[in-house]
Amino acid sequence: MREIKKNEPLHSQVYHIVKEMIMEGKYQPGERLVETKVAESLGVSRGTVREAFRMLTKDDLLVQKENSLFVYDPNAQDILDIYECRKSLESLSAKLAAQNITDEQLDQLECIIKESKEALSNNDPHKHTIFNQQFHDTIAFSSQNKQLINLFEVINAKVLYIRNCILKERTDSFAVLVDDHEQIFLALKERNPEKAVEKMNNHIQRSLKVANSALQNEFDNTGGSL
């Protein structure tokens, strides 16, 4: 967890700290967050935490029920809806990236793929997840469309949260997804928008199948409730 610093607004720092704890599963889906307890644990005022909570509610990572705030706990339909939105955004991202990507960004993608393969060889799913995120982030920024990047960051935060805290995707899917990344990279290197969209669509569709499988496993493990 990051430390509180003096040169950054307190509410912004608390926002990032609590968000990080949610994304890492330290605050569990459906867990109630109490303003006073968070303020005491971080050594800040309740007003600072209240403003951070307001920002997290705007991000849909906290949900208000009656007079309390709870960590977002998506149901199966929420998850499928989020992945459908992801598919549309990332397809457009791939199309624009094929038109606008720089040689330096292509080099970055190639390096990320190489590091992803090394993470797989070393059986390091945590590093693979980081490189996976870097790959998609780089493509989004390569689109050079600020509005798309903003939308991507919103939906991507939810996708990352779902992966880490809800689905806990199987590591046996990682090798196939890295192969998908390589196909997307080659389409971008060719600067072929249609091919880039096709490869990205295939990739997201495969990710959705992995999500469906993980959802079913979670459904079975919880006795039929999700």
The domains of the chain are located at: 10-71, 76-221
β-pair partners for 68: 65
CATH superfamily of 76-221: GntR ligand-binding domain-like (1.20.120.530)
Retrieve residue 25's tokens: 């599963």
At residue 171, the pLDDT reads: 65
Per-residue model confidence as pLDDT tens for the chain (226 residues): 566 766 778 999 999 999 999 988 899 999 999 999 999 999 999 999 999 999 999 989 999 998 999 999 988 888 889 999 999 999 999 999 999 999 999 999 999 999 999 998 898 888 888 999 999 999 999 999 999 999 999 899 888 888 887 666 566 677 888 999 999 999 999 999 999 999 999 999 888 887 777 777 765 665 544 4
At residue 65, the pLDDT reads: 93
Buried b (16+ CB within 10 A) or exposed e, 133-150: ebbbbbbbbbbebeebbe
Whose CA is closest to 76, among 193, 221, 214? 214
Residue 126: Cβ-neighbour burial (10 angstroms; 0-12, 13-18, 19+): exposed
CA distance 31 to 52: 17
What is the sign of the dihedral through the CA atoms of 16, 21, 161 and 178? positive
Are 53 and 9 a contacting pair, CB within 8 Å? Answer: no
Top CATH class of 10-71 equals: mainly alpha
Cβ atoms < 10 Å from Cβ of 89 = 20
At residue 186, the pLDDT reads: 98
At residue 41, the pLDDT reads: 94
The set of residues, in sequence order, having a beta carbon less than 8 Å from that of 154 and lying 6+ positions away, is: 59
The set of residues, in sequence order, having a beta carbon less than 8 Å from that of 84 and lying 6+ positions away, is: 208
Torsion of CA 171, 176, 177, 182, to 10 degrees: 140
At residue 182, the pLDDT reads: 97
Whose CA is closest to 116, among 136, 140, 98? 136
**Model-level pTM?**
0.82
